[in-house]
Structure 1
Amino acid sequence: MCAAGRRWGRRQRALLWAVLLAAWEAAWGQLRYSVPEEMPKGSFVGDVAKDLGLQLPELSDHGFRLIERGKTQYFVLHEKTGHLVTAERIDREQLCERVQQCVLRCELIVEGEMKLYEIEVEITDINDNVPRFRETDRELTMIETDSPGSRFSLPGAHDPDSGRNSLQSYDER
């Protein structure tokens, strides 16, 4: 094959990939929301219908399914409003104990149009836990010759909250 033929073949493949990518993006959408943990059941997360440009009759006429990964369903999509709301109270520390960014994912399938939309909801931390020491009582032994103002180390405290809500510092008082 000549060099011009190889270039044309590459151009055709590149054009084909661009068309496939555009078609994929048209059929696949992604939404991202953020909600604080511990919100009551039924709390507003996002307006999915508006954000995807779907008309409400479109959702109810064509039918839709919200699919979540895992055993627990944390979100519900209201057919009449198109709003995504919490299905139950979400405890970030229980879900993502050692993870800095806690993201729950679900998929919305609009059945009549065969469209699939991925929805990600970041669960943000609130300061809902108090720091705790492993031991509630600690016995310190010191000798008479210790000078006044001597310092003794204490074991570290643990706070399951993350980021700026986690344990920053503490002192004895």
Structure 2
Amino acid sequence: LAEWANVFEYIVVGMSEVVAATEYLKFWWPKVNVFWSGNIIILFLVLANLASAKAYASLEFWFAMIKVVTIILMIILGFIVIFFGVGNGGKPTGFSNLWSHGGFFTGGVKGFFFSMSIIVGSYEGIELLGISAGEVANPKKAIVKSVKSVLWRILIFYVGAIFVIVTIYPWNELSNIGSP
């Protein structure tokens, strides 16, 4: 049963990634057919998987690196806008958007728990650390280090990015411009 749960999990996560990729393509090139772009992305991933484990791992590494560098640059540039107003006519945005427009938890705790479910869903697969324990030289050290690093990843990539976004742009106007 656990095997099928993992298969289902990877199908859901994989398809959500394909949907996200097609949304970006649609944003950049509005005339792109979502059906065909999604199928091309799936075909690309299948071919990368069939080529070799090394080829897929290399692609995965570079795509992850692009994502990590992009988020870190967004956070750094966000703080430059917040403190120095670069890109905002020289006017620093400051932190007032955090408590203006109704402040924190305006929709109640429901919104917080909903966002936490998204975060937890993004870290699905973390249980595979136990499986990978057999593939490292010192499993006790490697697994403990990996588990502890998850907290920092959540703080930097989720809390940090969302903090910068809602500090620069009022949270109640984000739906007007779409996904940040």
TM-score normalised according to structure 2 size = 0.19
TM-score normalised according to structure 1 size = 0.20
Higher strand content, 1 or 2 = 1
Higher helix content, 1 or 2 = 2
